[in-house]
Amino acid sequence: MVRVVSKQPRKQRKVRYNAPIHQAGKFLSAPLSPDLREKYKRRSTRVVTGDTVKILRGDFAEDVGIVDAVDTGKYKVIVHGASVTKADGTEVPRPLDPSNVQITKLNLKDKRRVTRLEGR
């Protein structure tokens, strides 16, 4: 994890913006549901496309949806069903912070992800 000693918001932001890609993945972690937490013996994991998540905060709180995309540049998650209507009437997906969602079902198609989850 990226360690930041300073409490200053500008330095906190600087560390996030300039983080190397292997550390930036940590910013895309979301907490696991209680049953997954018990099964895998860990509190959180990185969100990937295909995970089923429950939105915990904001206008879409308590909604459940599948992750359509993960924006690694802005550290945001796009969930199916969480969209806002623009002034011209078009629907646009609402990017969510990964800390505001809870993973309820994991996408286990990736074998490396399975071994990483079970090995820890």
Residue 25 in this model has a pLDDT that exceeds 90:
no
Closest to 82 measured CA to CA, from 101, 98, 95, 97: 95
pLDDT at 84: 96
Question: What is the pTM for the complete model shown?
Answer: 0.87
Query: pLDDT (tens digit, 9 = 90+) per residue, 68-114?
Result: 999 988 999 999 999 999 999 999 999 999 999 999 999 999 999 99
Structural domain containing residue 106: 9-119
Distance from C-alpha of 35 to C-alpha of 27, rounded to nearest angstrom: 23
pLDDT at 1: 56
Number of domains in the chain: 1
The CATH number assigned to the domain holding 86 equals 2.30.30.30
pLDDT at 2: 64
